[in-house]
């Protein structure tokens, strides 16, 4: 008889430094890992990956501000606010492990740069802009289309602008035919809802263009993950550029290009992302003293936990 799987994720909330409520989903047993989703994603989109990690780790997936039941991005939105949110969750959970996907990878690197609380981090194709690799020239047209209620047109503008070397080469008429077939209606609706937040996030990533050398301040062990087609995207190439900058880093190229969201793509083998993360975030061969979580957050008033006992999403 097969052993029972992990319990459904439990939902709780912390309060960030500026008073914004930040919800998160928790599942599993073991050392605490904070998981930071990227743009156009909700915490629940990573439930499959969290379940795969739950046999060895307690996975806390943050619902980044501006989505789900977390508070709004706010008028003073910046990468610093994102780092405040991560700091609040770290203070509440005592996590020393951190994983970020895409824009969440940028958040993870920034959070690790300003905090010694994290011992190990892993990032998958982090949204780090290098030599203008994150271009936001598409954003005004995308926002104008959203304002007119032309959601599909705005999404096409985003898709073409995000990766000009790949999807950007496809004509709009072709994407108008393909995208409604390739992406289910419910998922498309989610992406449409998150586009306004995504525009602001990409503007923030672009603002940080070529600031990546400051990641040399990161003391944690870092795993830079990339898909097999990484050379075709700015985010994929960023992992290669970051490798010599980080003092304690290594790079791993996955056999599949986008393997981290759907369960059927999770990859249970040693070469898949779950096996890679198990090794990257698991105990080191030579243990070292963990940072003191009580001094990890620069905001003593942040990290207040408002539990919803027995709640599950």
pLDDT at 181: 96
Judge contact between 191 and 199, C-beta under 8 A. no
Q: Which two tokens stand for residue 26?
A: 């928790």
What is the model's pLDDT at position 312?
36
Whether the CB-CB separation of 35 and 49 falls below 8 Å is answered with yes
At 167 the pLDDT is 87
- What span, in angstroms and rounded, lies between the C-alpha atoms of 264 and 266? 6
Residue of 2, 218, 185, 5 whose CA lies nearest to 100: 218
Domains of the chain: 10-129+209-312 (3.40.50.1820), 139-204 (no CATH)
8 Å CB contact between 96 and 294: no
CA atoms within 13 A of residue 241's CA, in its CB half-sphere: 22
CA distance 64 to 273: 22
What is the C-alpha separation between 200 and 272, in angstroms, rounded? 32
- Per-residue pLDDT for the chain (313 aa), expressed as one digit of tens each? 555 666 789 999 999 999 999 999 999 999 999 999 999 999 999 999 999 999 999 999 999 999 999 999 999 999 999 999 999 999 999 999 999 999 999 999 999 999 999 999 999 999 999 999 999 999 999 999 999 999 999 999 999 998 888 888 999 999 999 999 999 999 999 999 999 999 999 999 999 999 999 999 999 999 999 887 766 677 778 889 999 999 999 999 887 544 455 433 455 455 578 888 989 998 865 333 333 333 333 333 345 555 433 333 3
Cα gap 309→194, rounded to integer Å? 28
In this predicted structure, what is the pLDDT of residue 254?
82
Residues 6 or more apart from 49 whose CB is under 8 A from it? 35, 260, 261, 266, 273, 274
Q: Which helix (H) or strand (E) holds 101?
A: strand 97-101
Cα–Cα–Cα angle for 59, 205, 51, rounded to 5 degrees:
15
């Amino acid at each position: 008889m097969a052993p029972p799987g992990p319990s459904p994720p439990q939902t709780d909330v912390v309060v960030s430094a500026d008073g914004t409520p930040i919800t998160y989903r928790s599942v599993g047993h073991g050392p605490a890992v904070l998981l930071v989703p990227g743009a156009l994603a909700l915490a629940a989109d990573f439930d499959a990956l969290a379940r795969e990690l739950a046999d060895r780790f307690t996975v806390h997936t943050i619902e980044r501000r501006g989505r789900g039941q977390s508070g709004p991005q706010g008028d003073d939105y910046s990468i610093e606010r994102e780092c405040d949110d991560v700091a609040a969750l770290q203070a509440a959970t005592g996590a020393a492990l951190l994983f970020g996907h895409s824009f969440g990878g940028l958040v993870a690197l920034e959070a690790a740069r300003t905090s010694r609380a994290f011992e190990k981090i892993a990032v998958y194709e982090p949204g780090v802009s290098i030599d203008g690799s994150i271009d936001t020239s598409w954003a005004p047209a995308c926002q104008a289309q959203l304002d007119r209620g032309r959601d599909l047109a705005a999404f096409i503008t985003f898709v073409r602008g995000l990766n000009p070397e790949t999807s950007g080469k496809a004509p709009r008429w072709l994407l108008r035919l393909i995208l409604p077939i390739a992406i289910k209606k419910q998922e498309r609706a989610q992406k449409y809802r998150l586009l306004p937040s995504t525009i602001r996030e990409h503007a923030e990533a672009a603002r940080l263009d070529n600031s990546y050398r400051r990641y040399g301040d990161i003391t944690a062990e870092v795993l830079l993950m990339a898909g097999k087609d990484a050379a075709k995207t700015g985010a994929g190439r960023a992992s290669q550029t970051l490798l010599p900058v980080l003092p304690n880093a290594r790079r791993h190229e996955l056999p599949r290009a986008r393997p981290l969201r759907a369960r059927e793509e999770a990859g249970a083998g040693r070469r898949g992302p779950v096996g890679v993360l198990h090794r990257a975030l698991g105990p080191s061969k030579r243990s070292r003293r963990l940072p003191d979580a009580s001094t990890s957050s620069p905001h003593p008033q942040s990290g207040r936990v408002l539990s919803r006992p027995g709640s599950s999403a």
